[in-house]
Amino acid sequence: MKNATVIHITGLMLLLISVFFSLSFGSVTTSLIDVWHAVSAPSSSDLLNRIVMDLRLPRVLLALLAGVGLAITGHTLQTVTRNSLADPYLFGISSGASFGAVIFTILASSVGVSASIAASLGITAFAFVGAAASVFLVLILAGVHQQLQVERMLLSGVAISFMFSAFSSLLLYFAQPQAAASVLFWGLGSFTQASWDMMLWPTLVVSASILVLRLVQPWINALQLGDETAQTLGVPVQKLRLGVLLVCSLITAVLVANCGGIGFVGLMIPHLVRMLFQSNSLLLSGLFGGIFMVWVDVLARIALPSQELPVGIITTALGSVFFIGIMSKKNKN
């Protein structure tokens, strides 16, 4: 990749511009000048100002964090498993996280826990336990002490994914209709619940994970040469893979808990970045994941006149078109 620094800085600028522009979209008409006024005087009590700062900004930031988090998770999973099809969904991490979140939601609705910081922490913790459980199950099924066999790991991931999906469906089948409906809507992915109160955990987890993954990046890159060669470079392969999978579980869990199911981003963005920039940069995947999700959220807000589209529907639709495009391009070549 040439001019790596220039591409990274351009990506960062595009991300900031995207965030600024996206604040002007929504059911209430807001010009870019209104947005500028709101951002430059954040504490003003003006109505437009409050809409931008209290409703739209947390939502845009949550979308940004989700895009960054899912893209770096997909990028990392694809590198440590040497499989360009790996993403949190294929590995069962998302299904495990969803199962944990569904258990918490149904329990919380039966005891009457309402939205609060404690509830946000609770759902994140349950989602993480579910995600981590699926990682351990996948590793056990794939043979954790053996050399990584990519096919075994993928098949295990698919099996675990279906298993947790079935458990979630079973719980929903027996749940109260109201709880089931809210879980179903949440499962389609949405940033409508975003508020400043719920930003703490996604911000902390995604930022800390980027730092950790960046620090172990040379080791992760060494895994591309194969487990045995990585070991001859002094990399503790099994421990590294387990640690990285747990970090990916944590990101997925916090995002599933706060935004629901958003598919294809982790799979699509690293592919897109490799295709456009011939780059395998973690940070670049993160930046473009953020830009992508900010604009997907804008589309979710403006696509229908009187209601919002769940973002999961948009990302899945775009993802499938993207992969059909790649396939037909490869066929032509």
Burial class (CB in 10 A: 0-12, 13-18, 19+), 304: exposed
Q: Which is nearer to other proteins, 42 or 218 (CB)?
A: 218
Q: Which is nearer to other proteins, 18 or 281 (CB)?
A: 281
CB of 75 to other proteins, least distance (A): 10
Handedness of CA 109, 300, 310, 261 (dihedral sign): negative
Q: What gap in Å lies between CA 117 and CA 28, rounded to an integer?
A: 28
Q: Outline where 143-264 has alpha helix (H).
A: 150-174, 177-187, 200-215, 217-223, 227-232, 237-259
Which of 12, 37, 214, 246 binds other proteins (CB under 8 A)? It is: 214
Which of 216, 272, 299, 326 binds other proteins (CB under 8 A)? It is: 216
**Is 238 an interacting residue with respect to other proteins (CB under 8 A)?**
no
**Is 228 an interacting residue with respect to other proteins (CB under 8 A)?**
yes
Number of shown-chain residues binding other proteins (CB under 8 A): 26
**Is 235 an interacting residue with respect to other proteins (CB under 8 A)?**
yes
Which of 215, 276, 303, 317 binds other proteins (CB under 8 A)? It is: 215
Quote the distance between the C-alpha of residue 240 and its chain's center.
21
List all residues 6 or more positions away from 237 whose beta carbon is below 8 Å from its beta carbon.
Answer: 223, 227, 230, 231
**Range 44-83, binding other proteins (CB under 8 A):** 79, 82
**Is 233 an interacting residue with respect to other proteins (CB under 8 A)?**
yes
**Is 84 an interacting residue with respect to other proteins (CB under 8 A)?**
yes
Stretch that binds other proteins, among 168-176, 227-235, 261-269, 316-324 (CB under 8 A): 227-235
Other C-beta atoms within 10 Å of 159: how many?
14
CB of 265 to other proteins, least distance (A): 19
Burial class (CB in 10 A: 0-12, 13-18, 19+), 308: middle
Stretch that binds other proteins, among 113-121, 196-204, 212-220, 247-255 (CB under 8 A): 212-220
Q: How is residue 70 annotated by DSSP?
A: H
Residues recorded for the chain: 333
Q: Which is nearer to other proteins, 281 or 315 (CB)?
A: 281
Which of 221, 299, 308, 323 binds other proteins (CB under 8 A)? It is: 221
Residue 253 CA: distances (Å) to CA of 170, 177, 320 = 20, 25, 24
Identify the three-state secondary structure at position 301.
Answer: helix
**Is 280 an interacting residue with respect to other proteins (CB under 8 A)?**
yes
Which of 191, 219, 288, 292 binds other proteins (CB under 8 A)? It is: 219
Angle value at C-alpha 298, between 307 and 252, nearest 5 degrees: 100
Which of 10, 44, 146, 232 binds other proteins (CB under 8 A)? It is: 232
Which residues make up the interface to other proteins (CB under 8 A)? 1-2, 79, 82, 84, 214-216, 218-219, 221-222, 224-226, 228-229, 231-236, 274, 278, 280
